[in-house]
Chain A
Amino acid sequence: MAQAELKEAVTENDVTLSHQQYLTFMLGGETFAIGILAIKEIIEYGQLTEVPRMPDFIRGVINLRGAVVPVIDLKARFSNRLTEVARRTCIVIIEVQSGDDETQDIGILVDAVNEVLEIPQPDIEPPPSFGAAIESRFINGMGKVNDKFVIILDIAHILMIDEISQLAADHTESVSPLANNEGSDESSD
């Protein structure tokens, strides 16, 4: 329990870790994993509508059976390089907490989906404090699969709505055609 407290007590972490089933997928040549509990479904990449003035990593929105779901490009989020859409490109639909009682569906763009597998708790090592390709706060741990390490993402953290919408708002402001207006408080919050 002490360990949980150290981890800012993000409850979803505990759930993900204890469950031990993960979806692995490819992103820019590397293998990543996320706990399957948060995953709602996986769909093929389809018609996507761009939303203007959004940062690059927010690719746009899709129609998921009548619901409008935003799609995030994880690669762009980590490295500022856009994922190129190819034949095996998929969108993984994930349910995240967006408020006290609310949840929101968000799609993440991945190069390809591999498999669902179990990674026993002993095979998971804590995230490296440095040297990883992505910020360590986005990593839940390093899982050993077939003698190779996969990065287990802390998806609840990566898709924190407040943080993303803040990034989006900052970006919007900087690209607004009114950005050079001295009375710019009109377009701000």
Chain B
Amino acid sequence: MEVKVTETDDGCEIALRGDMTIYTAMQCKEEMLAPLQQYKHISVDMDGVYEIDTSGLQIIALFLKESLEKNIGVRFSSVSEVVQEFLDFCGLSGILIPETQPAAAC
């Protein structure tokens, strides 16, 4: 999979492409979490994720948890159908909705 981090005016954008599965979990965790050390506002584009499993879900959850702790504003700009379906199935439809953002994000 490919994790592309692009700097934006107020933070960065993480674009995920490929599969978020156990096969890529190590890489995914490392690369997706790295920007949390640096930026205060992060936008995540998951439009290019065509496969996801429980390990991928765990990384998203970890990402959200960490960003909450560090008070980082996170927004999911776009989510592929596969991911949305997966989250819906797990009863986690709302997890990516920007309610996880701290109020200061706007």
Query: In the complex, A touching B, CB below 8 Å?
Result: no
